[in-house]
Amino acid sequence: MANEAHPCPCDIGHRIEYGGLGREVQVEHIKAYLTESPVDAGKAVIVIQDIFGWQLPNTRYMADMIAGNGYTTIVPDFFVGQEPWHPSGDWSTFPEWLKTRDARRIDKEVDAVLKYLKQRCHAKKIGVVGFCWGGVAVHHMMMKYPEFRAGVSIYGIIKDSEDVYKLKNPTLFIFAENDAVIPLEQVSLLTQKLKENCKVEYQIKTFSGQTHGFVHRKREDCLPEDKPYVDEARRSLLEWLNKYV
């Protein structure tokens, strides 16, 4: 699983072999992976990548899973052509690399994707799901974009700001108990601050014994003791979207 000598901000886990059900499209200045829903319900979900980029098969698999439940899904390249992180990279350089890919500076791309979904896909109700780096992006979007019906932030949290608790949209946060990147103290602080400041529906779910990346990086045939948690987290994601989007 993870390289324990270099615990990374998104445990690479298993890179699944997956071709995808969708197609690549151009959305203004960025590329994206689009999967159309088998039913035209006017609903769409933006799926935001982790540090390993928009082409990671695991993320496309999750997008296709969501699409199969009635949502047109799109995985934009929020790095806008910049190289994603590679698991064999020099982890000592990671902090500097990350500074050039700020998950809170994506508004131009978000605006372009929203326009595309509304005009080209005829989406009237839109949600967003993000993993790790993308989870941070979801947290940001839930504070800035009231037009989203809901968001799901999966092992992602904004840590470096106090003004991040007044969410505008129903938001589900999913965490792992044994996350080397997001310790439980930070989850407890988020819980406390949301209780004090948040006026919309939210939920925080922490999964016992799991590590960073468990929702989208575990194989379908993962360890028997892990599978119920993976399944429950994915089911929770879909139930949140179904409830609010």
Q: Please, what are the domains in the chain?
A: 23-244 (3.40.50.1820)
Point out the catalytic residue in the list 139, 140, 212, 216: 212
Q: If we measure between CA atoms, which residue out of 153, 244, 155 comes closest to residue 200?
A: 244
Contacts of 181 (CB under 8 A, 6+ apart): 7, 8, 9, 10, 132, 155, 212
Low-confidence ranges of the chain (pLDDT < 70): 1-13, 218-221
DSSP string, 75-135: EE-TTTTSPPP-TTS-GGGHHHHHHTS-TT--HHHHHHHHHHHHHTS--SEEEEEEETHHH
Cα–Cα distance, 31 to 101 (Å, whole number): 16
| Known catalytic membership, residue 107 | no
How much is the pTM? Answer: 0.94
For residue 123, give both structure tokens.
């989406």
pLDDT of residue 40: 84
Distances (CA, A) of 170 to 45, 121, 139, 177: 14, 23, 11, 23
Point out the catalytic residue in the list 132, 139, 140, 216: 132
Helix (H/G/I), strand (E/B), else coil: 150: strand
Q: pLDDT tens, 41-89? A: 899 999 999 999 999 999 999 999 999 999 999 999 999 999 999 988 8
For residue 45, give both structure tokens.
């979900």
| Known catalytic membership, residue 11 | no
Helix (H/G/I), strand (E/B), else coil: 1: coil
| Known catalytic membership, residue 221 | no
